[in-house]
Amino acid sequence: MHLIQEIATAMMSPSKGILAADESQHTMQKRFALIGLEQNSENDRRYRNMLFTTAGIEHYLSGIILHDETIHQNSDNKIPFATLLSNLGILPGIKVDQGLTSLESSPDEKVSIGLEGLADRLEEYYSLGARFTKWRSVISIGDDLPTQDALKKNADVLAEYAEVAQSKKMVPIVEPEVLFDGKHTLARSGEVLRDTLQTLYKALAEHEVTLNAMILKTSMALPGKKSDTPLDPSAIAEETIAALRDTVPADVAGVVFLSGGQMAKQATSNLNAIAKLGVQSWPITFSYSRAIEEPVIATWRGDEANRIAAQNVLLQRLEDNVAARNGIYVPK
């Protein structure tokens, strides 16, 4: 266990974050549609190649989460992407859940799948260079949601995944994403976040998951997208940290925030407000996807002539979010 504890510590290195470049083909299709680019394996590879060959990303990133497709691909120079990242001192990770399915007891809610064959897949990913893993579940907020059954079933799946990952000498990132669709208040979001994490850590204890060798990837407490509540970073930070302090044990290796559909600068400002609340029991950083990559894709547009400009946008987004992690972000 000692080795993966060291990896978990390295993932939470000061002044660095984790890039979630693990979008599915379906998600890439939606993102590429916005720039009129066809989604296919080669365009996915070209895009990830542009990201990973950006000079200087190792100064801002401790790790990058890859998709199954990506960990099997090579750079333009025929170097496996996982090897390219390792050579930069960036830990390669891998998304290992296989999506969501409707919950039998509550069809409006989802439970994540992919436990079957997980141990074998992890052995392959380890041989390809991955040293940490990620598994995402989603929790919906509604009039009568989430149900306790949804909270427990997703927590049990996440805990079983984490147990298997650690048995294969890989650090698990455990991600129970509380969605902020709907009209709920900030307080209601904080309440659901508490319930979600409380249920999760009970399940992790039952599966004897070693907490200082795992990382929590969590939502911020956010008012629903359709609510009338303004997005106040200070209020979001207070509600988020209060929920985490109530539920996350002190010996967890780290807490990383997902952007969860927030606009790019919004996610950065909220992270900055969280950091300004001071040092917590666990190190905190970002693990964003859309909030970093969306402006990059909009600049790149699939055109090699835009490569340098897109890479400069990536570096700026990384610099801004590292500043936010340290509580010193100033919007430009």
Going from N- to C-terminal start, the domains of the chain cover 2-325
Contacts of 252 (CB under 8 A, 6+ apart): 211, 212, 214, 215, 216, 281, 282
160 a catalytic residue: no
DSSP 55: T
Average pLDDT, stretch 142-163? Answer: 97
Detail the DSSP E strand segments found in the chain. Answer: 17-21, 61-66, 91-95, 100-103, 106-112, 132-139, 171-178, 215-218, 254-257, 284-286
Which band of pLDDT confidence, cut at 50, 70 and 90, is reported for residue 192?
very high
Instruction: Report the share of the chain in percent with pLDDT over 70.
Output: 100
Could you give the percent of the chain with pLDDT greater than 90? 95
In the predicted model, what is the mean pLDDT of residues 75-96? 98
Cis peptide before 146 (omega within 30 of 0): yes
The SS3 assignment for 288 reads coil
pLDDT at 211 > cutoff 80: yes
pLDDT computed for residue 228 by the predictor:
84
Q: Which of 163, 175, 239, 294 is catalytic?
A: 175
Q: How far apart are CA 148 and CA 313, in angstroms?
A: 42
* 2: pLDDT strictly greater than 80: no
Taking each helix axis from N to C end, the angle separating 264-275 and 290-300, rounded to the nearest 10 degrees, works out to 150
Could you say which of 217, 239, 293, 294 is catalytic?
217
Kindly state the greatest CA–CA separation across the chain: 53
Place of tokens 């606009």: 263
Identify whether the C-beta of residue 269 lies closer than 8 Å to the C-beta of residue 238: no
Closest residue by Cα to residue 322 from 15, 11, 14, 9: 15
Residue 173 pLDDT: 99
Q: What is the pLDDT of residue 143?
A: 87
Express each pLDDT in 226-255 by its tens digit: 888 888 999 999 999 999 999 999 999 999
Q: Which of 13, 8, 6, 4 is nearest to 59 (CA)?
A: 13
Q: What is the pLDDT of residues 279-308, one digit of tens each?
A: 999 999 999 999 999 999 999 999 999 999
Looking at residue 1, its pLDDT comes to 63
pLDDT at 140: 96
> How many CA atoms are closer than 13 Å to the CA of 111, on its beta-carbon side?
21
Q: Cα 61–67–70 angle (5° rounding)?
A: 90
**Superfamily designation of domain 2-325:** Aldolase class I (3.20.20.70)
Cβ neighbors of 90 (< 8 A, separation 6 or more) are 57, 58, 61, 62, 63, 64
Average pLDDT score over residue span 204-216: 98
Helix (H) or strand (E) holding 10: helix 2-11
Q: What is the pLDDT of residues 27-69, one digit of tens each?
A: 999 999 999 999 999 999 999 999 999 999 999 999 999 999 9
pLDDT of the residue at 141 = 96
Query: What are the two backbone dihedrals, phi and then psi, of residue 110, each rounded to the nearest 5 degrees?
Result: -120, 155
Instruction: Using the predicted structure, report yes or no on whether residue 176 has a pLDDT greater than 70.
Output: yes
Q: How far is CA 222 from the centre of its chain?
A: 16
The distance in angstroms from the start CA to the end CA of the chain is 43
Residue 76 predicted with pLDDT over 90: yes
Per-residue confidence band for 261, with pLDDT thresholds at 50, 70 and 90: confident
DSSP 14-38: TT-EEEEE---HHHHHHHHHTTT--
- Residue 294 has a pLDDT of 95
175 is known as an active-site residue: yes
Looking at 117-121, 160-164, 178-182, 199-203, which range is the least confident one? 178-182
Instruction: Evaluate if pTM is beyond 0.85.
Output: yes
117: burial class by Cβ within 10 Å (0-12, 13-18, 19+)?
Answer: exposed
- Mean pLDDT, the chain, rounded, equals 97
| pLDDT tens column, 112-137 | 999 999 999 999 999 999 999 999 99
